[in-house]
Structure 1
Amino acid sequence: MNRSLALALGLAALAVPLHAQAAPPASASASPLAGTEKLDGLYPVHVDRKGGRILLSLPAAGGDGVVARMLYATALRTGLGSAPIGLDRAAPGPAQMLLVRRMGKKIAFELENPRFRASAGTPAEQAAAANAFATSLIWMGDAVDGPDGRLLVDIAPFLARDTRNVTAQLNSSGEKGWKLVDGLSAADPNAVRAFPLNLEFEARQTYASDTPGPEVRNIAPDARQVTLVVRHSLIAMPEAGYVPRQFDPRGGSFATQILDFSAPLGGQIVQNLANRFRLERLDPAAPRSRVRKPIVFYIDNAAPEPIRTALLEGASWWKQAFEAAGYIDAYRVEILPEGADPLDIRYNVVNWVNRATRGWSYGYAVTDPRTGEILKGAVLLGSLRVRQDMLIYEGLVGADRTGKGGPNDPAEVALARIRQLAAHEVGHALGLMHNFAGSTQDRASVMDYPAPRIGLKDGAPDLSDAYGVGMGRWDVHAIDWLYGDPVSGDPDAAARAKAEAAEREGLRFVSDENARSVSASQPWGSLWDDGADPVAELDRMMQV
């Protein structure tokens, strides 16, 4: 190279802008999975803990663009701590049918509408029913072509949205001006869990208001904003084989309503399916049989002793009813093992919930919206009720008896009450409604609200028979109606026969719609009463 050419090349190099020299060469082959950790489960999930991405790996779309169908449910990992507002720790939302669809470069999350259907119709009839009613497209994300022909979508932005509808619950409870703060809300890549039939995700979401109400001001460290951790569950569609039970208002169960436009002329379009767990006999021909998958409820290990043991004992009462319905070891209760996630959709949990003030307890059932099959039972027991009950009993018999043992020990009576409460709320999670007529038939149901039966002994209040123990006649019947199946014949016909037999026997059933309203006039449906004759019981209680 001569000196003139070398000088020319050197000057040309100096003429290149500094930023162009520093830019690294672009790599068209950079993998979208770079920096991620793979978790195998219902679908593979690639977690980018540093970058915050949560890449859901899905199969390639079919010719219609459909990628996958699954159930989607939410719950609260952390609560607000307010009894009036709600938003309790472990409070679940409903299960909804989620359709994942590819639309060009986008992936759409769409909630289907299984309430309206033509289940026995031709494909054209089924399409007509489905297309006549709106769905809800709740999110769209970018589709990325991954390895092996699969699709990747970063669902972290979806998880950070207010899909749990926290904003509405805050603003409808005496609070005002609450809204989600996008800049203070994000999915947590460290909380992703993958299992064969479900994927679990979490997001930390912050809600802000310039006009917080008294409840939030009493609780939050900065009343202008509250942060909750929201759980999202993606669940495999339940396998085939579940047999729905036709709802009967005499059965005492909750129900899922559908409108089936393939019903024959003269048939019912509006149909109600009783909510219940799936129980499959190992020996269908035997009147008594073990089951393929027992119903197991777990007691929150956050509940302190001796309350934890009392909860286990009360929730276990239902075993008697399942045994009477022909099931062997089909129902049991255990303490939640250390390390188990109480919000995992696979666990039915009796949760111990703390609030700033005493509030209600609840029994929820997360159900398949197509069939009414219960997928998860979630019980929320307020921790302050047992303490308030004990104060009431101390007012009746004296605080000096607390801890002394015996039938008039306020602590022992409070434990008797919480055993009944555990059975009551688990009954809801098993699919049963209130029965406020139980108290008129000598404690026929734990699904009633039990007033303490306070007696007089030597002129002083006596609590030795304050609360019953075990199942009542109605409870045994209700489980048999809801879960019991004949060895042969039509199960719905057998259930109708059981309801008619209970009616002939005189078993009474009165639930909320005929009891709670101030206009309700059902004489057997009073709340917090005891005995068949309310006038006689009032006179007796006045003596107490």
Structure 2
Amino acid sequence: MKNKLLFLLFITISFNGFSQFFTEKTGKNLQKGISKYEGYFTFYYDDISDKIFLQIENLDADFLYVNSLSEGIGSNDIGLDRGQLGDGVVVHFKKAGNKILLIQPNQDYRAITKNSEEIKSVKEAFAKSVLHGFVIKQEKKGMYLVDATDFFMRDAHGVASKLARNNQGNYSLDKSKSAFNIERTKAFPKNVEFDIMLTFKGSPKGYNIRSVTPNASLVTVHQHHSFVELPDNKYKPRKFDTRSGSYGMSYLDYATPVNESITKRFIYRHRLEKKNPNEAISEAKEPIIYYLDRGTPEPIRSALLDGGRWWNQAFEAIGYKDAFQMKLLPEGADPLDIRYNMVQWVHRSTRGWSYGGSISDPRTGEIIKGHVSLGSLRIRQDFLIAQALQAPYKNNATDDDFALQMALARIRQLSAHEIGHTLGFAHNFAASTVNRSSVMDYPHPKFTLKDDKIDFSDAYDTKIGAWDKVIVAYSYQEFKDAENEDEQLNKILINAYESGLKYLSDADARSQGSASISAHLWDNGNNIYDELNNLLKIRKIAIDNFSTDNIKSNEPYSVLEDVFVPLYFLHRFQTEAAVKIIGGLEYSYAVKGGNQTVVKRVSGAIERKALEAVLKTINVDEIAIPKEKLALFPPRAFGYGRTRESFKSELGVEFDAFSAVETASEMTLGLLLNSQRASRLIAHKSLDKTQLGLEELIDELILKSIRKSYKDSYYQELQNVINNQVLQQLFDLASNQNQYKQVNAIVFFKLDEIKSIIQNKKSKGTQKIYNITMLKKIEDFIKNPTSFKKTEALKIPDGSPIGNDY
């Protein structure tokens, strides 16, 4: 009891002592252990109790609240990276009894009107959110002191829930092992920053969390909270146009006249104004400046700075001088400080995606802070591709600068790409079909053959693209007062499309059943199937030349196998692009009164050329690993085990050439025999008999697989592997109930034809046994198609960066 009374007495004395917070303006006479921080909000840190006390003065005044991760976990699969931004939301404080509530108003439903009652009716119709309730510790002349410790020392970023969703284990916050990080807790005139070290305790389940933590039962990260002054009301929102390539924000305005759309759409963009708006070329009042992480090493540092600065070319084209700048972050500055647009160099345990995000004003779409996260292992992928295509280590040579230069060229483009997102720009996956017209596409290195040698000189672009200048003009160009902005914006887009530029984004590129003939990831060429043929030639030459000269002296042969992976699957993304031509459509985000193609089918002649190129990727002569190369791939060396980026094997420790062919052929066939694609072939053929039909496609497929045979036993066995994949994919298509029934009928008919082809084949020995087995598979499937369960080939090694898509 005595101890309890002493504890209560201590607490009482402590809180009585905080009366000095409001009387001492200089902070010189604060009680022991108390530090005062004066800025956008004034707050106090108690070193003895590790608590933050917040001084609140302006109730009901909106400001921006942002949470983020200042120190992450380091696993791309888990997706909790250093510098990762959370939500940015408008909030305000409101007094309610003995509490101060932090309220997030609803920005999705508004009434833009001078009628206060109408505004009130919408406000009361939709829910708001109270993010926290702070108990008032002291009050003086409209100023309130609250203990904000619990608000900051919580899992605002959702670390525990993300670990659970990723099946890494069940974790909870352990406050006894958590503390404020005062080195990164700071106050500035327009923002205050709070940094907290949080420890999560739990029972780890997944490999990913174990692989990146010294003790997977105790996972410690740093979360960051920012209170930021909102911009003034002088920013003018710019309307969103589906053709523009800009990200859009929207809300419902219930004060809108009935004959107009209630949904208001605007783009995200930084505020940019000319110093001299009447001059053709002028500096900006406040240029857009991005800062590079000081932890970025050379020569990557210089490459990222160079690539980011490409954007100034686009701003120059609309009459700005030095409006976009990129610099090294000032020494001592915090990357999460709201005042700095950042390009941050992020380390993970595996190769992964880079991404660009931003903090914006939810009321208007004005970007307040751009923040790019670049994965540090990304550069090594391009180095590996170059190393695979050209054997640089002959006679103990060590000159692989060509590979480094190609990798640095990719990093320049990556810097421009991710910064583009933070400027407000979406992916343009159609740009690669129009002379690489945008850095907002995903670029595959472009190779050419010169005298039967692979040339790397044009692997990546070295400048901003023509489309990028269009989106900068749409988003940032200033117009004279006398001009009609809507007309001028529309003119920019009309001129762009009349010049042949195209824009299509994620939804039209990522789906395996995508119908767009232009929107592709990691492709090249105005003519997709010709580029596939070109890439297959390059691949063949590189495989024929592949040897121990592709790795350095004294490296294990296991490294040679790893170098071979991106070479063997070099054609994978161009194949996907070419497949989309089959049953494909040419279309755009057309608007009434515009000058774009609305929608039209790809001609049958082009479909057939694409099919011819695609079927080469299941040709044994193309995808068989030459026999003499198999001696290069022994069982994995000690300490150099297989990873997710390695070939998989059904042979245990032995390199498996059969599974490589099976995986490659499954990739192509899964794309080609996609159910949506098959249904489109039926629909298109019904409208025009010259179109490629599903029956013709399957006939060509059978001709290039089931009907083929080889005298060479190795090639014949590989053909059997491919044939089995053909059957698997046809079975899967025939049993699919979510497609046109004509597809099912045609595939069943073709299975009967395949059965006849196999029955009429003259075979003996092992091949005869295999053919009998194939016949039985077909018969069993036809008898009971609903019992079919597709057997998956071994997983293709990761080709795109690992994890989510950005």
Give the Å deviation of 1:433.
0.5
How many residues in Structure 1 have an aligned counterpart in Structure 2?
517
Give the Å deviation of 1:146.
4.4
CA contact (8 A) 1:49 1:190 kept: no
Tell me, yes or no, if structure 1 residue 57 matches structure 2 residue 55: yes
Give the Å deviation of 1:190.
4.8
Give the Å deviation of 1:418.
0.5
Match of 1:508 in 2: 502
Q: What runs of 5+ residues in structure 2 fail to find an aligned partner?
A: 22-30, 539-806
Match of 1:7 in 2: none
Match of 1:340 in 2: 333
Match of 1:84 in 2: 77
- 1:35-434 to structure 2, matched below 5 A, reads 35=32, 36-59=34-57, 61=59, 66=60, 68-400=61-393, 404=399, 409-434=402-427
Distance in 2 (alpha carbons) for counterparts of 1:60 and 1:492 = 39
Partner letter of residue 308 of structure 2? A
Distance in 1 (alpha carbons) for counterparts of 2:241 and 2:226 = 31
Distance in 1 (alpha carbons) for counterparts of 2:151 and 2:122 = 29
Give the Å deviation of 1:175.
2.3
Match of 1:3 in 2: none
SS in 1 for 2:529: helix
* 1:346-392 per-position Cα deviation (integer Å, ceiling 9, x unaligned): 10111000000000000112111111111111101100010121111
* 1:122-178 per-position Cα deviation (integer Å, ceiling 9, x unaligned): 111111111211111121111133455411112121001111122222222232323
Distance in 2 (alpha carbons) for counterparts of 1:398 and 1:147 = 76
Distance 1:439 1:126, change over 3 A: same
Distance in 1 (alpha carbons) for counterparts of 2:223 and 2:346 = 16
Hey, which of these two has a bigger chunk of helix by percent?
2
Distance 1:403 1:467, change over 3 A: farther
Give the Å deviation of 1:95.
1.0
Give the Å deviation of 1:282.
1.7
Distance 1:191 1:352, change over 3 A: closer
Distance in 2 (alpha carbons) for counterparts of 1:505 and 1:60 = 53
Give the Å deviation of 1:255.
1.4
Match of 1:11 in 2: none
Hey, which of these two has a bigger chunk of strand by percent?
1
Give the Å deviation of 1:107.
1.2
Distance 1:205 1:492, change over 3 A: farther
Tell me, yes or no, if structure 1 residue 442 matches structure 2 residue 429: no
Match of 1:498 in 2: 492
Distance in 2 (alpha carbons) for counterparts of 1:131 and 1:151 = 27
* TM-score, structure 2 as length reference: 0.62
Distance 1:210 1:347, change over 3 A: same
SS in 2 for 1:358: coil
Partner letter of residue 71 of structure 2? T
Give the Å deviation of 1:191.
3.4
If asked which structure has higher relative contact order (CA below 8 Å, sep 6+), I would say: 1
Partner letter of residue 42 of structure 1? Y
SS in 2 for 1:126: helix
Distance 1:403 1:238, change over 3 A: farther
Give the Å deviation of 1:60.
6.0
CA contact (8 A) 1:53 1:189 kept: no
Distance 1:300 1:190, change over 3 A: closer
Tell me, yes or no, if structure 1 residue 536 matches structure 2 residue 523: no
Match of 1:4 in 2: none
CA contact (8 A) 2:392 2:399 kept: no
CA contact (8 A) 1:286 1:487 kept: no
Distance in 1 (alpha carbons) for counterparts of 2:336 and 2:94 = 27
- Say which of 504, 507, 515 aligns to 1:521: 515
* 1:423-468 per-position Cα deviation (integer Å, ceiling 9, x unaligned): 1111111110111111111110011111111111232221111111
SS in 2 for 1:151: strand
Distance in 2 (alpha carbons) for counterparts of 1:231 and 1:272 = 31
28-37 vs 121-130, which moves further: 28-37
CA contact (8 A) 1:368 1:375 kept: yes
Partner letter of residue 509 of structure 2? A
Distance in 2 (alpha carbons) for counterparts of 1:383 and 1:334 = 19
SS in 1 for 2:320: coil
- Say which of 10, 17, 29 aligns to 1:30: 17
Distance 1:490 1:182, change over 3 A: farther
184-193 vs 414-423, which moves further: 184-193
* TM-score, structure 1 as length reference: 0.91
Q: Percent identity?
A: 39
Q: CA RMSD in A?
A: 2.1
Distance 1:224 1:212, change over 3 A: farther
CA contact (8 A) 1:58 1:152 kept: yes
Partner letter of residue 332 of structure 1? Q
CA contact (8 A) 2:41 2:56 kept: yes
* 1:374-426 per-position Cα deviation (integer Å, ceiling 9, x unaligned): 111110110001012111111111243997477xx101111111001101111
CA contact (8 A) 1:178 1:207 kept: yes
Distance 1:403 1:56, change over 3 A: farther
Distance in 2 (alpha carbons) for counterparts of 1:374 and 1:60 = 24
SS in 2 for 1:178: strand
Q: What runs of 5+ residues in structure 1 fail to find an aligned partner?
A: 1-18
CA contact (8 A) 1:83 1:360 kept: yes
Give the Å deviation of 1:520.
1.6
SS in 1 for 2:170: coil
Give the Å deviation of 1:94.
2.2
Distance in 2 (alpha carbons) for counterparts of 1:166 and 1:125 = 40
* 1:289-327 per-position Cα deviation (integer Å, ceiling 9, x unaligned): 222111001111111000000000000000000111121
SS in 1 for 2:62: strand
SS in 2 for 1:482: helix
Distance in 2 (alpha carbons) for counterparts of 1:280 and 1:533 = 41
113-122 vs 435-444, which moves further: 113-122
Distance in 1 (alpha carbons) for counterparts of 2:296 and 2:463 = 22
Distance 1:211 1:31, change over 3 A: closer
Distance in 2 (alpha carbons) for counterparts of 1:438 and 1:30 = 65
Distance in 1 (alpha carbons) for counterparts of 2:201 and 2:16 = 42
* 1:256-275 per-position Cα deviation (integer Å, ceiling 9, x unaligned): 12111111111111122100
Give the Å deviation of 1:186.
3.6
SS in 2 for 1:322: helix
Partner letter of residue 119 of structure 1? I
Give the Å deviation of 1:498.
1.2
516-525 vs 483-492, which moves further: 483-492
Distance 1:245 1:389, change over 3 A: same
SS in 2 for 1:309: helix
Give the Å deviation of 1:501.
2.0
Partner letter of residue 35 of structure 2? E
Partner letter of residue 297 of structure 2? P
170-179 vs 329-338, which moves further: 170-179
Distance in 2 (alpha carbons) for counterparts of 1:423 and 1:403 = 31
CA contact (8 A) 1:287 1:486 kept: no
